[in-house]
Amino acid sequence: MQVTLHNQKGETVGKAKLPKELFEVAMNPDLVYQVAVTQAANRRQGTTHTKNRGEVRGGGRKPWRQKGTGRARHGSIRAPQWRHGGVVFGPRKDKVYGGKINKKMKQKARAMVLSAKAANNMIVVLDRLEIDEPKTKSMVQVLENIKKANDNFKKGSVLIATPEYDKNIMLASRNLANAAVIEAAKLNVLDLLNSKCLLMPQTAIAALTRNK
């Protein structure tokens, strides 16, 4: 697939070739859904936690004798039916939400999402992406230039894929609400779906090909 190659000023400087094994793959919605849901579940931290009757403080003594009082029998004041008692089916921090997805399934699903974005003109390839100083206004200017070249970038979030870790680009983008930066080798289905458009330099294509 051939796409227009731009520079950081938004000007057309030539053509870039996107490998068909990554950008011309037929969509399988079921596979993309399965991978996206699993990746989202694996990111859950599971920090919410409630104590059961064995973890709540107190209740070591039987509140009253078993028989003869006329009241219902109880063994502990920290049973779930008591105030300040344990929680029966509350959230637990030791619960595992995530699952496992095979490597080939993840790679195939990623190629499907990339192909869909390429087909809908939601990918812009730059001849280079370099920022001399880690300033937000520098990245804002680059994105404004790209918006003039591609109408799809005018609204929605942008995912910026770099061939390797670039400190200046990372720092210049972290204060932008609608922009995120990721290394091309770490590009995944969930981040692609959470962003409307993809912006990457031409060197990032080679990094994607190595990690296909």
> What letter would DSSP give residue 61?
S
Q: What is the pLDDT of residue 210?
A: 79
Residue 190 Rama label (left phi>0; alpha psi -120 to 50; beta): alpha
Which DSSP helix (H) or strand (E) runs through 147? helix 136-149
Mean pLDDT by 10 residues, the chain (212 residues): 90 91 95 96 89 91 94 94 94 87 94 95 94 93 92 92 94 94 95 95 89 67
> What letter would DSSP give residue 153?
G
Which DSSP helix (H) or strand (E) runs through 22? helix 20-23
Domain with CATH 3.40.1370.10 in the chain: 2-44+99-210
Q: What is the pLDDT of residue 212?
A: 65
**Whether the Cβ atoms of residue 55 and residue 136 lie closer than 8 Å to each other:** no
- CATH fold, domain 2-44+99-210, is Ribosomal Protein L4; Chain: A; (3.40.1370)
Cα–Cα dist 179/198, whole Å: 10
pTM as predicted:
0.82
